[in-house]
Structure 1
Amino acid sequence: MKESGKPIYKEIIDYIKNEIKDGRYEKGEIIPTEEEFCTLFNTSRMTVRRAIDDLVSKGMLTRIRGKGTFVAKFNIEKTMNSVSKGWSETMEALGFKTSSKILMFDKVKADNYIADNLKIPVNSEVYVLERLRYADNNPVVIEKIFISSDRFPDLDQYVLENESVYNVLRKKYNIKINHSYQKLKAVELLGEKAKFFSDTGKAIVIEIVTTNYDQYSKPIEFGIDYVNSEVYSLRYVIKE
């Protein structure tokens, strides 16, 4: 314990965080050894290991057996405690620069699965918007959403490559997302879409199936996301 009252392991954590933030420890770069930190902070190896373990658990550092500890190349941890923010707002709040690429934007006939989730008649027209979402130029999510064109006419007039769908619904249609239902599971993604996340044409992703509801408890959006599990983790806040 230093005179400041802050435990030494927390000082080590703050030091490493600042070195990463200021670019002195770059992404993918090896950091000093535990012995070097012991000398720098005049402390025990156990204290240093506690600090490094904390940063490894948060995804900021990664250990490679036989090589050492490295700054993680890329990691996002999203806390799921709000449905009012879209992808861009959430990522930018975490300090990432976001962008998107539209893979598909069209009208299709709703099949039984889509119609059931949106509570609309089968064969009703829906917009389908599929986008590849980037954070700091890294592909993170393939997002595919379905929205009723009868309820939200002229949605295709808005540029949605980097525009938040939530913002458009709020500003143009006076609709707010009140709550969501989600199902998550790990799946194997194959083919061309998997190549966004892996050179092998095969990737393990988090599949998130979501139905969003408005302030009147009516479904407004149904979507399926494929999330790059190597760089993205989810943390849920559960309230009584």
Structure 2
Amino acid sequence: MPALDRNAGAPLWMQFRDVLRGRILQGDFGVGTKLPTEAEFGEQFGISRIVVREALADLVRTGLIYKIRGQGAFVSARERDEDFVSTVLGFSDEMERKGLTVRTQVLEQELRAPTEQEASALELKDTDQVVALRRLRSVDNELRLLVETVVPADLAPGLHRTRLENRSLYELLRRQYGLRIVRAERWIDAVLPDAPTQELLGITGQEPLLRIESIAYGASGRPVEHYRALHRCQSSRLHVKTTT
């Protein structure tokens, strides 16, 4: 078992989570496999059950594993369908749940005044500021998503100076700023990309993209994120689950 470093900057639960995630994605634990108990993991890694429990809870939240009351934790199935449009999981979390590797290149990251559309979506005043991000995202080395995101600056002070390469924005907002996304409104239509977008996404010829707009809300009911994304769907499908 890889040793956990008690002197590292990352907390033990996060180190253990990453080790376990890596073993699952490498196939050490197959789909449907029952995982060791919290006590067994604790003994193997020399950590407390509380540390194990927090790591497992995070893997459940991202969907990589699931729990059955009284029976334990099991490895989830991973599919090609993308569910992030119908959940409050971030794109990175949802892709990692399916065992895929996400890479994020930050093209722009700045503190500025919101546009009229952004101010309306986020219910901001003219004097408010936003942290604006423009990111290019790939899945298993396939360029997949170009996304422009804005977050109210007062909710995430210093975000415009935070390193975001290959990081999940939703996890950062949750862990560093206590912002938990509880619901979102999303709109989807089809568009043809312009020349700069084609170049960024490596598109040759005519290829329609799905344009996704989203407003995400925190537990207080306040909007905490607005994004507009252009999504390539050649090798995947967007999956939406509805309930009554």
Give TM-score, length-normalised by structure 1. 0.65
> Which has the larger strand fraction?
1
Instruction: Give yes or no for the alignment of 1:220 onto 2:224.
Output: yes
Q: Deviations over 1:98-149 (max 9, x none)?
A: 1111111112211211000000012522111111111110000101100111
Q: Deviations over 1:52-111 (max 9, x none)?
A: xxxxxxxxxxxxxxxxxxxxxxx941135420x211211111121111111111122112
Q: 1:146 — aligned with what?
A: 150
The total of aligned residue pairs comes to: 165
What is the one-letter code of the residue matched to 1:198? I
Residue 189 (structure 1) aligned to one of 171, 188, 193: 193
**Contact kept? 2:131, 2:153, Cα under 8 Å:** yes
Cα displacement (A) at 1:199? 2.2
Cα displacement (A) at 1:239? 1.2
**Contact kept? 2:111, 2:160, Cα under 8 Å:** no
SS of residue matched to 1:189 = coil
**Contact kept? 1:127, 1:146, Cα under 8 Å:** yes
Q: 1:234 — aligned with what?
A: 238
Mapped to 2, the partners of 1:128 and 1:141 lie a distance apart of: 17
Cα displacement (A) at 1:185? 0.1
Relative to structure 2, which stretch is displaced further, 146-155 or 128-137? 146-155
* Structure 2 unaligned blocks of 5 or more: 1-78
Mapped to 2, the partners of 1:82 and 1:186 lie a distance apart of: 20
Q: 2:104 — aligned with what?
A: 100
Instruction: Calculate the aligned-residue CA RMSD, in Å.
Output: 1.8
Mapped to 2, the partners of 1:206 and 1:123 lie a distance apart of: 33
Give TM-score, length-normalised by structure 2. 0.64
SS of residue matched to 2:93 = helix
SS of residue matched to 1:236 = coil
Sequence identity percentage = 21
Mapped to 2, the partners of 1:76 and 1:204 lie a distance apart of: 19
Residue 157 (structure 1) aligned to one of 151, 158, 161: 161
Runs of 4+ in 1 over 6 A off after TM superposition: none
Q: 1:199 — aligned with what?
A: 204
Mapped to 1, the partners of 2:208 and 2:134 lie a distance apart of: 19
**Contact kept? 2:155, 2:177, Cα under 8 Å:** no
